Structure formats: structure tokens, C-alpha cells
Amino acid sequence: MTTHPIRGEAHAALITAPGSGQGKSMVTAALARLHRNAGRRVRVFKHGPDYLDPMVQEVASGAPVYQLHPWMTGEAECRWRLAEAAREADLILVEGSMGLFDGEPSSADLAILASLPALPVIDAWGMAQTFGAVAQGLANFHPRLAIHEVIANRVGSPGHGRLLADSMPEGLSLLGAIPRSEAMAIPDRHLGLVQAGELDGLDAQLDDAAAVLAEAGLDRLPARVTLEAAEPGAALRRLVGVRIAVARDAAFAFIYRANLDLLEAMGAELAFFSPLEDARLPVCDALWLPGGYPELHAARMAANASMRTSIRAHHEAGKPILAECGGLMACMESLVDGDGIEHVAYGLLSGTARMTGKLSALGLQSLDTALGELRGHTYHHSSLETPLRPVAHARRLAGSSAEAVYREGSLTASYFHGYFPSAPALVAATFTGEGLNAALSATSGD
């Protein structure tokens, strides 16, 4: 159900690259900070199910960052969020994922859907005139995708930059050549960028990175576009009076803003807490343990015996719990970290979560139930050793094996990360327990 259409105009571009590791995340962040420092209102979005890049982009832009993905969030929501942002922002930047045409749907698909021009960031290290050939290949690959400019990254010298500019074919130009700079580097770990809250001096680094871009001539705004969409209908108020405790700290931080928005729109009251720092759960009717890095904080989790007791008491009382990925790991009897050290965990599920030292699963998946299709993804470097039998399995769109869904009393747990707005009725049942078992029994696995 929709209401009246909305429309807005803003300067906008999808920041992309030929592949991962070209530097598009930091270029996007530096562009956002550059224009924010110039007094412009900046909104940044992220293509795909990434949690970590948006944390940095929020610091850079000073505004909330939402995921856009034509399959996971839906085409209508992609259009709506962009049009809504265009009504208030001077500049909209969408950070792409992987390479421009990688995945299905790809970053290019999103740009075409929303009529956004793409602005590729190309790592120029070790390239001269071939740079122009790469740019031309990207620009000519899809007839409906608009590419007029490219950015050169990690340029060695002004002379190198001139070579790159001279290599541009007709119809394409070099927007700017970014020199190699420590300000443009950001650390990462096994699941992606280090969380923004763990990076000391991030604000100062973003200002330095913005200055690097300004000196490279990247302070010019991209093209102005018109963005239109239908406004979504109001969420059904199925969680009125339900108080949900949401774990949020260095160990549990993988939370889509859209998921929080939906819970509140359905009437829920959210109570945030830290399983690492707090002694017990806040007063609540339901509990959400989202994904994150419990393996990096397993010793602290194990040492917080009072929180473990509080979570167990919540479970024993039959109150709903949703545990996603890192939350699932924390709910096992034990967790073996990357150094092979075993730590006591919350003990709600039989077995052990063990870091594998390699990627165990990656891909978009959905959970088909009688209460709707919950879309999302999986991405983890651990595996379970458990005698438990799943009550359901997610279905693969692409990527690795379908994830199991476990039910133990009032607990629902899986490596699967769900995008709540894709199945509001199922989400409401998860946090109330009403009709959830029947809905899950109707799932179809891979």
C-alpha cells in the first residue's frame, strides 16, 4: 500500500570501482566530509548488506546511513529513500559494493534503477595509459548506465596524474587524481573495516582526507538529478507495548538502521544495553542479540557472569530472544576464538561456536515463512558444532550453503541476518512469540 508520490532534486552519484580494494569506501567518506565541511547537507547510502562501511560514512556525513539493495530492501524502498533524501540534502552519495557490475543485483543495477550517474574510483597504482582503457570499459559496458567522469586513486606524482588525464577517451574526463596518502587509509579485519567507534582520531583523519581531495580538485559537485518515488504506507502497529532489549556495543553492532526504525514504527520501545559492560538486562519483554564480533570479546563476555545469568533467566522465563550470527555464537555453550581459546558462552544452545580462520559462508538469502519472506544475507568465519536439529533453513539467492534456523524454547537463532522491513509480520511474531513456530514450520529450504 502506498500514498502520494514524493520528489526531490540533489547533486548525486554512485561511487564505485572496478573491484574491491580500490579505495571507494574512504573516497566516499572523504567526499562526504569535504562537502559537509563546506556547509552542504550530505546524505550517504550503501549498496548491499554491509554494516561496517555505513558506520564510517555516518561519522563522515553526520547523518544516518541506510542500505540500498534492489533485492534485499526492494526496488520501491531504494527509490523512496533516495527521493526522501533529495528533498533535504544538497548532495547524495551512494557507496557501491565490490566491482561496479559484480553481483546480482549489482551496484550498476542500483544506479540504473535510480537514474544515478556512476563515478568510478580506479586504483592507478602501476598504471599509465591503460587507466583510460579501464575507464572506457566501465563506461561502455552497459548502455543505460551513465558514466562521464572517473577518479584516479593512489596516484604517484603530479606527472603520473597528467598521464592518466591524457589517457581519457572521448566523452570521459578525469575528475581528480588522489595522491597516495596515509589519510586515505583505514584498517580492516576479517569481516571488513574496523568499526568506526574503535578508530581513534577518525574525525581528524576524515578532515585530513577531505583536504587531500580538495587539493586534488575533487571539491566540484556531481550532476544534479531528480529523484521520484511513491511514499510507503504506515507500518502495522503490532508491537505496541513490547519493550525490546537490543544489545549494542563493540561485540554486538551489526544492526540495520531500517530494522530499528521498523520496530519503533510498529510500536516497540527499544532499550539498548551492553552485554560487555552492563551487569544485567534492562527490564524488557524480548531480547535481540544482533551480529558483531563476540569472538574478539569472548573473554570479557565470559567474565560477565551476572549478564550471563540475566540472559539465561530471560530465556527460562519464556521471553522471546532473536540471536543473529554473532548473537547465535554467544548463545552456544562455548565459543572458541581465533587463537583457539575456548570461552564459556551464554549456554542457551547445546554445542560450540568455533572460529575457522577462513570464510565459512557468504551470500544473499531469504527465509520463506507463512508470515512473509524475510530477506537478508549471511557472512561469517565460524562454524557450529551442535547436536541441535534446525527447524528451518533459509534459501540461497547466491553464494554459500543455506543457513539453519534453530529454535530452543523462546529463542530463535541463526547465522542469517534479516532485513526486518521485508517481512514485518514475521518480525512482530519473532519478538512476541505469537504464531512464530507455525510460521517457521512452513519454510522451504534450499
> Catalytic residues, which ones?
325
Identity of residue 9:
E
How do 42-47 and 291-292 pair as beta strands?
A: unpaired
Tell me the CA distances in angstroms from 409 to 216, 329, 330, one per residue in order: 58, 17, 16
How do 173-179 and 382-385 pair as beta strands?
A: unpaired
Give dist(CA 260, CA 258) in Å, integer: 5
Give dist(CA 86, CA 22) in Å, integer: 28
Spatial contact of 377 and 332, defined as CB atoms under 8 Å apart: no
Q: Is the peptide bond before 294 cis (omega within 30 degrees of 0)?
A: no
- Expressed in angstroms, the distance from the first to the final Cα of the chain is 30
Q: Which residues contact 249 (CB under 8 A, 6 or more apart)?
A: 274, 275, 276, 277
Among 86, 124, 94, which Cα is nearest to 28's?
94
CB atoms inside a 10 Å sphere around CB 236: 12
Give dist(CA 184, CA 54) in Å, integer: 17
Grid cell of 124 as nine digits: 592507478
Grid cell of 301 as nine digits: 563476555
Grid cell of 214 as nine digits: 580538495
Residue 245, SS3 per DSSP: strand
Spatial contact of 380 and 415, defined as CB atoms under 8 Å apart: yes
Side by side, the strands of the sheet bearing 417-419 are: 395-396, 361-369, 372-380, 417-419
